[in-house]
Structure 1
Amino acid sequence: MSQTPLDCAPDDLQVVEQIVRRSGTSFARGMGVLPPDRRYAMFAIYAFCRLVDDVADEDLPFDAKLPRLQEWRGRIAGLYEGCAADPLDRVLTASIERYDLRETDFAAVIDGMQMDAEEVIVAPDLATLDLYCDRAASAVGRLSVRAFGDSSAEADQVAFHLGRALQLTNILRDLGEDAERGRLYLPREVLTRCGVPLDPEAALVSPSLPAACRIIAARAKLHFVAARAAMRLCDRKAMRPARLMAASYAAILSTLVKADWREPSRRLSVPAWRKLLIGLRALVPA
């Protein structure tokens, strides 16, 4: 019998991969640069994030979501005590053991989803926004860099900065979509300084919104720069997926900056040919 990725049962691996592919994301294709063991570890991490995020996004009161998030906390704790009840549990357990994934990082991801579930986030202060970015994105990065093949302090710095860069870019890209859900993730200090209303719909039509977005875009750019600097101190091969993500999202940010949020309700994207060129360049480390 030939060895399978992470020494997991083929049926378990298939279930986890199906969760990823059903999400309709390009994530699976992007992880194709990884060898099978690391790729399936990333699939398991993504599947965990996807399922927890689904709980946070459900159109239910917080009182109904909290028990399900608590179940996930117990489920993750159980993995570190040797309890694995289903295919995702088993592939996550194998990933945890193989790559020394930390329980605190899984817990932080759930904390981030809970922030979204327990209230409608509208113009948080800068400290709260940074905490949200750390939990929603950088914690995922801390799990990911270990699966990529680097568990150093410098790799954690890549996760710290790249997670924030990616999350801020998402916020700047999804202003219209978030406003439809009554959400506004731009920080109140920046909105107030620029004279932008703190109401999501009013902010969207404010002539001062582009000025506020430029400030957040500048913050995101600094995080991209710091992430790339940290990558140069890490294992070069392990950082290939991180370089791909950084290059792809930096291109999205550049597109947003050029459009200057003149139509903030419209979700901009990067042309396919440019994505391909960016990907090819990112595979070669500087």
Structure 2
Amino acid sequence: MPKPLAEVAQIMGCSELDLTCVEQIVRKSKTSFAAGMQVLSPERRYGMYALYSFCRIVDDIADEEGDIQTKHRLLGEWREKIADLYAGKAQSSVENVLLASIGRFDLKQSDFIAIIDGMEMDVDHPIIAPDEETFDLYCDRVASAVGRLAVRIFGDSSESAQKVAYHLGRALQITNILRDLEEDAERGRLYLPKELLQRFHLPLTPDACISSPYIQEVCNILAFRASDHFRLAKEFIALCDQKALLPAKIMSVTYAFLLAKQRRWGWKPPFRRASLSLPEKIMVALAGLVMSVTKLKI
């Protein structure tokens, strides 16, 4: 029987209002993230809601309209808030649940700062055809750092779980980059590595690059790279606490499905962005249910 919200709040040391706030942020985003977190205990689920809320807030600062100076100021304020959290001080509902989660799950301050650093990369100037080193650094900051926090909330802080975060974070981020080429180009961004673009003589400007029929070759290479990260994540998940890493399995299955669908559709203009249809969402949800009952390995 699910724990009453008041009991969860008492266990975590924050208020029911705080927990409701972070859950509402997740619900309003209409992300499939919420469904995958239902397999967690209430304390871990609200910890993930708080982490998602933090990521949503700093990502919106980087992506929404506004001048660069204001964005830097707001992200700087979050650097100070993170420092305050590790000094035991919180001022908002999101911060209150983050503070509870930091203490309960031994979350590392460096990972929160890495996420903010990743947002700063988008603010400083539009990322356009980064070199491979910058591309990997960006993926680590905006995705794998989130994974490093998430696996601790899930309940596994082992070295193998950190490797899951490394590989699954990169797999998810590359998948999203491949799905969002057109949207990113409209924002003046092009996350595809410069070395790959130059190998196929593609232009290094967003609109011209994604309009080229040769974009398919570059995206196929990145898709294979993502698949390799999914494979390695699976191998490290097998070395982890299977119950704890169940949400990671569900995310891996979901995003591997999206990547496969995007590969079938391809990347030649006109671009089609892969997403889950209602039947596919039901299928993935059922796969998660089967995993939760049988501890099935992906």
TM-score range, shorter chain: over 0.9
1:66 aligns with 2:77: no
Q: 1:28-73, CA deviations, whole angstroms, 9 ceiling, x for partnerless residues?
A: 2221111100000000000000111111112222222111111000
Give unmatched runs, 5+ long, in structure 2.
none
Q: Which amino acid aligns with 1:285?
A: L
For 2:247, which of 231, 241, 244 is the aligned residue?
A: 241
1:285 aligns with 2:296: yes
Counterparts of 1:99 and 1:279, CA distance in 2: 27
Q: 1:228-258, CA deviations, whole angstroms, 9 ceiling, x for partnerless residues?
A: 0010000000111100110010011101111
- Superposed CA RMSD: 1.4
Matches within 5 A, 1:186-225: 186-225=192-231
Matches within 5 A, 1:1-286: 3-5=7-9, 6-263=12-269, 265-282=271-288, 283=291, 284-286=295-297
Conserved? CA contact 1:100–1:146, under 8 Å = yes
Counterparts of 2:240 and 2:286, CA distance in 1: 20
Number of residue pairs the alignment of both structures matches: 286
Conserved? CA contact 2:262–2:273, under 8 Å = no
Counterparts of 2:8 and 2:274, CA distance in 1: 40
Counterparts of 2:257 and 2:278, CA distance in 1: 12
Q: CA deviation at 1:8?
A: 2.1
Conserved? CA contact 1:247–1:279, under 8 Å = no
Q: Which moved more, 1:158-167 or 1:23-32?
A: 23-32
Q: 1:263 to 1:275 in 2, by over 3 A?
A: farther
Q: 1:154 to 1:80 in 2, by over 3 A?
A: same
Residue aligned with 1:229, SS: helix
Q: 1:174-194, CA deviations, whole angstroms, 9 ceiling, x for partnerless residues?
A: 011111111110001001101
Identity of aligned residues (%): 52
TM-score (norm 1): 0.96
Q: Which amino acid aligns with 2:176?
A: N
Conserved? CA contact 1:16–1:43, under 8 Å = yes
Conserved? CA contact 1:204–1:264, under 8 Å = no
Q: CA deviation at 1:272?
A: 2.7
Q: CA deviation at 1:87?
A: 1.4
TM-score (norm 2): 0.92
Q: Which moved more, 1:215-224 or 1:61-70?
A: 61-70
Conserved? CA contact 2:213–2:269, under 8 Å = no
Counterparts of 2:270 and 2:171, CA distance in 1: 19
Residue aligned with 2:7, SS: coil
Give unmatched runs, 5+ long, in structure 1.
none
